Amino acid sequence: MGFFLNRKLISEIVPGILTVSILVGICFAKNVPANFVFGDSLVDVGNNNYIVSLSKANYVPNGVDFGMPTGRYTNGRTIVDIIDFTPPYLAPTTAGHVVLQGVNYASGGGGILNKTGTIFGGRINLDAQIDNFANTRQDIISMIGAPAALKLIGSALFSVTIGSNDFINNYLVPVISVPEQKLISPQVFVATMISRYRLQLTRLHNLGARKIVVANVGPIGCIPYQRDSNPAAGDNCVNLPNQLAQLFNTQLKCLITELNTDLQGSQFAYADVYHIVEDILQNFISYGFENANSACCYLVGRFGGLIPCGPPSKVCRDRSKYVFWDPYHPSDASNVIIARRLLDGDSNDITPMNIRQLAGL
């Protein structure tokens, strides 16, 4: 009952933009009793509203197509909203039987490594997000008993979308002293990320997760922020960030294969967001976009990438024509394409199975 009630309330706020995703969510919910979301600002639905942080999106013009700012770093929905709405863990209303349908733990600025995002002050990195899920798990056990709780969690969908900040807001951050990339090679840094990520994903398995979607890092060298921060690249994407993402993604895909072999009873799916976004950028006109390199919400910079989206910003006339909403994040229109390809795409988009197939296991 709660599932349909929650979506009814949301659709009354913004009936137009959410109609498709509500229908997808209702169909999807038949196979998945709950949806637990981990990640960064790409999938944060408001957790950073409740912490002291420089990374926030609960102000205009964010959410202009959602009906109001909610803490989502886009004009409308995140990727996970389009698959299924889940409430932010830190919201006071995310309590009691609400959590039986799933919870979103994602945090803007968060990363795989605990050092990531220190420039923002407050953020909830992946280790802390999993701690929060452990608390939810205990609450579920207290409500419905251990056998029913473990069955629910084992049938639920888990998704993890994280890693971009470990590069953008850690390894690649210019500092007054020597930048970290001068001290640590990309290979060593990525190996450190993968090592930590292995422990974190294994811990989710040990807490009962069995259906786990892991998204790779997208082409971060193509976001407006990187374009404006590296003007020498001209009209092209910036090479180094994309090379780092590809180095990480190659090892992440091997890690997912390893976990599927070693963690019996679990099914991990590798979501190739890099491939999907790259395809959108290369063929943006065929997807109905008119702009594939600039922020729709902009203030300073050739690509509008130098200042985060906020009240002083200008907003493009037609948000559906822009791949990027702000210096860092996709628009709602892009998120719809990404979500649909993860839901129903082939092995080029997500492997060894798509989200709908995973949900049906």
CATH classification at residue 132:
3.40.50.1110
Q: Which of 40, 81, 326, 332 is catalytic?
A: 326
Residue ranges in 14-160 assigned as alpha helix (H):
15-29, 79-83, 126-144, 146-155
Give the residue numbers spanning the domain of 301: 2-359
Please indicate whether residue 329 is annotated as part of the active site: yes
Please tell me the total count of domains within the chain.
1
pLDDT (mean) for 223-231:
97
pLDDT grade for 316, boundaries at 50, 70 and 90: very high
Q: Which of 41, 229, 266, 313 is catalytic?
A: 41
Q: Which of 53, 294, 329, 332 is catalytic?
A: 329
Answering whether pTM is above 0.75, one says yes
Please indicate whether residue 41 is annotated as part of the active site: yes
Count of C-beta atoms within a 10 Å radius of residue 246: 15
pLDDT at 31 (0 to 100): 74
The secondary element (H helix, E strand) that includes residue 291 is strand 291-295
Residue 174 confidence (pLDDT) above 90: no
DSSP category for residue 104: B
* Of 208, 107, 205, the residue nearest 164 (C-alpha): 107
